[in-house]
């Protein structure tokens, strides 16, 4: 016979669950926590006092209740005191943020990245340098409890090695390990695929909050994806799941960075759009170049309109395949795909009507990212906070040691 969970296991679980409510939902009264968590008042009081003593939350009288009687204390995250570092490594951009418990971005640095090379030491050194600058500005009583990075590539779940990243030019790079060493905080750095993490971000704090089945599509140079099924991210056996950009939609079509032909990324990615619009060439790339095509189409430029329409057809076909297989409640377009979708929504809808099965598309909602350019960073921060939410007191004790 297996022993059930111990009192200590239950307490740890409840502390994490309470902190998660405060972290994701913001300030909340003890009375609401009692109702939401299905625990009695004295248990909630004991849990909040433990978290308060640890410096993770604080309790305050509500500003206005409008009700008679003794007001219930409001529990708030200690956002300014407890934080994580979130990193984002994209083909064109590096970003670092200091994110407080509760999800507030407290500080942020961004830098342009030269495409086409991946110098591990240099890159990790630069990111760690940004983090150190931010750290120097913090108060003495602040504590960093985690760090995580979003990278544009396939990341091995077991050890955070970036196995492939054709758009980053990274292959089998021990990125988390190197960044952790350079940061020198004695903390491991978790690493995740950027689109997977952005999907988690939209699911926990964005347009997909409370949506249990969603697909997030992220456009950068290529197309990434994150699939949330039944409230969980589908990572696959090794963590490489959700690479929807390499779903073949046009056999024998354009050559893809992965070596195959006609992948969604090859037909919809930045290069396909810019080439179709006759705008591919020296110096013309990135978000601004894509935005310029969408704006030109808006102004009536026929070449730009045709390019967008072509890309929208392939995008719609890819979404139709995903909708047939996963039956999501919502598909979210993020990164560069936000602009592309807004400029080609009619084509996307037409292809869905032609290729997705009626029951799967009847209640489907198509949305653009609510977190915008911050989605990948916010997702990285959530990955970094995951350890804290799993075992708040243990993580804090280690961070303070
Ligand atoms: Zn491919």
Q: Is the pLDDT of residue 401 over 90?
A: no
Ligand 1 centroid distance, CA of 259 (Å): 6
Partners of 96 in beta bridges: 87, 109
Ligand 1 centroid distance, CA of 261 (Å): 7
Ligand 1 centroid distance, CA of 178 (Å): 28
Question: Could you give the 3-state DSSP secondary structure of residue 373?
Answer: helix
Report the range of poorest mean pLDDT among 246-250, 286-290, 323-327, 362-366: 286-290
Better-predicted residue by pLDDT, 333 or 287: 333
Question: Are the CB atoms for 226 and 236 separated by under 8 Å?
Answer: no
Ligand 1 centroid distance, CA of 245 (Å): 6
The CA-based angle 6-9-10, given to 5 degrees, is: 90
Ligand 1 centroid distance, CA of 243 (Å): 9
Ligand 1 centroid distance, CA of 37 (Å): 45
Q: Is the pLDDT of residue 335 over 70?
A: yes
Ligand 1 centroid distance, CA of 256 (Å): 5
pLDDT band at 369 (very low <50, low <70, confident <90, very high): very high
What is the average pLDDT score of the chain?
A: 92
pTM assigned to the model: 0.93
How does 274-307 read in b/e, with b if 16+ C-beta sit within 10 Å? bebbebeeeeebbbebbebbbebbeeebeebbeb
Over pLDDT 90: what percentage of the chain? 76
pLDDT of residue 159: 84
pLDDT band at 337 (very low <50, low <70, confident <90, very high): very high
Ligand 1 centroid distance, CA of 115 (Å): 19
Question: Are the CB atoms for 357 and 288 separated by under 8 Å?
Answer: no
Q: Is the pLDDT of residue 24 over 90?
A: yes
Interval 173-229: pLDDT, tens: 899 999 999 999 999 999 999 999 999 999 999 999 999 999 999 998 889 999 999
pLDDT band at 72 (very low <50, low <70, confident <90, very high): confident
pLDDT of residue 64: 67
Ligand 1 centroid distance, CA of 262 (Å): 7
List the strands of the sheet with 170-173, edge to edge. Answer: 154-155, 162-165, 170-173
Question: Are the CB atoms for 388 and 145 separated by under 8 Å?
Answer: yes
Helices (H), 174-230: 175-183, 194-205
Q: Is the pLDDT of residue 66 over 70?
A: no
Ligand 1 centroid distance, CA of 375 (Å): 23
Ligand 1 centroid distance, CA of 320 (Å): 18
> What's the rounded Cα separation, in Å, for the pair 393 and 377?
25
* Cβ count near 115 (within 10 Å): 14
> What's the rounded Cα separation, in Å, for the pair 348 and 207?
19
Interval 300-323: pLDDT, tens: 999 999 999 999 999 999 999 999
Q: Is the pLDDT of residue 356 over 90?
A: yes
End-to-end, the C-alpha distance of the chain in Å comes to 38
Q: Is the pLDDT of residue 119 over 90?
A: no
pLDDT of residue 106: 96
pLDDT of residue 113: 82
Ligand 1 centroid distance, CA of 294 (Å): 24
Average pLDDT over residues 250-271: 93
Question: Are the CB atoms for 149 and 380 separated by under 8 Å?
Answer: yes
Question: Are the CB atoms for 143 and 400 separated by under 8 Å?
Answer: yes
Ligand 1 centroid distance, CA of 201 (Å): 25
Could you tell me the two tokens for 392?
Answer: 């708040």
Better-predicted residue by pLDDT, 120 or 151: 151
Ligand 1 centroid distance, CA of 263 (Å): 5
């Amino acid at each position: 016979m297996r022993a059930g969970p111990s009192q200590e296991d239950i307490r740890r679980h409840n502390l994490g669950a309470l902190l998660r409510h405060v972290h994701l939902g913001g300030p909340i009264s003890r009375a609401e926590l009692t109702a939401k968590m299905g625990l009695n008042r004295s248990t909630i009081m004991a849990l909040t006092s433990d978290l308060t003593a640890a410096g993770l939350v604080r309790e305050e009288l509500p500003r206005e209740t409008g009700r008679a009687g003794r007001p219930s204390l409001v529990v708030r995250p200690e956002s300014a005191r407890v934080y994580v570092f979130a990193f984002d490594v994209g083909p064109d951009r590096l970003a670092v943020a200091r994110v407080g418990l509760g999800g507030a971005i407290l500080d942020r640095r961004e830098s342009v990245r030269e495409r086409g090379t991946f110098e591990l030491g240099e890159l990790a050194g630069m990111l760690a340098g940004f983090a150190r600058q931010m750290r120097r500005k913090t108060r003495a009583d602040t504590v960093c409890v985690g760090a995580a990075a979003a990278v544009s590539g396939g990341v091995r779940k077991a050890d955070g090695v970036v196995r492939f990243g054709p758009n980053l030019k990274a292959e089998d790079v021990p990125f988390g390990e190197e960044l952790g060493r350079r940061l020198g905080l004695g903390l491991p750095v978790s690493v995740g695929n950027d689109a997977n993490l952005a999907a988690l971000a939209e699911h926990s704090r964005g347009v997909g909050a409370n949506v249990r089945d969603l697909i997030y599509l992220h456009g950068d140079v290529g197309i990434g994806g994150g699939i949330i099924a039944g409230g969980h991210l589908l990572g696959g056996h090794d963590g490489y799941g959700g690479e929807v950009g390499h779903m073949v939609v046009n056999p024998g079509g354009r050559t893809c960075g992965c070596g195959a032909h006609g992948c969604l990324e090859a037909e919809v990615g930045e290069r396909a759009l810019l080439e179709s619009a006759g705008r591919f060439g020296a110096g013309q790339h990135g978000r601004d170049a894509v935005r310029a095509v969408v704006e030109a189409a808006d102004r009536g430029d026929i070449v730009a309109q045709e390019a967008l329409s072509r890309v929208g057809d392939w995008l719609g076909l890819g979404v139709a395949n995903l909708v047939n297989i996963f039956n999501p409640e919502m598909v979210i377009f993020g990164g560069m795909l936000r602009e592309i979708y807004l400029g080609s929504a009619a084509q996307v809808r037409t292809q869905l009507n032609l290729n997705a099965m009626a029951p799967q598309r009847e209640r489907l909602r198509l949305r653009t990212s609510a977190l915008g350019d911050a989605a990948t960073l916010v997702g990285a921060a959530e990955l970094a906070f995951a350890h804290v939410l799993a075992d708040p007191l243990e993580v804090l004790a280690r961070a303070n040691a």
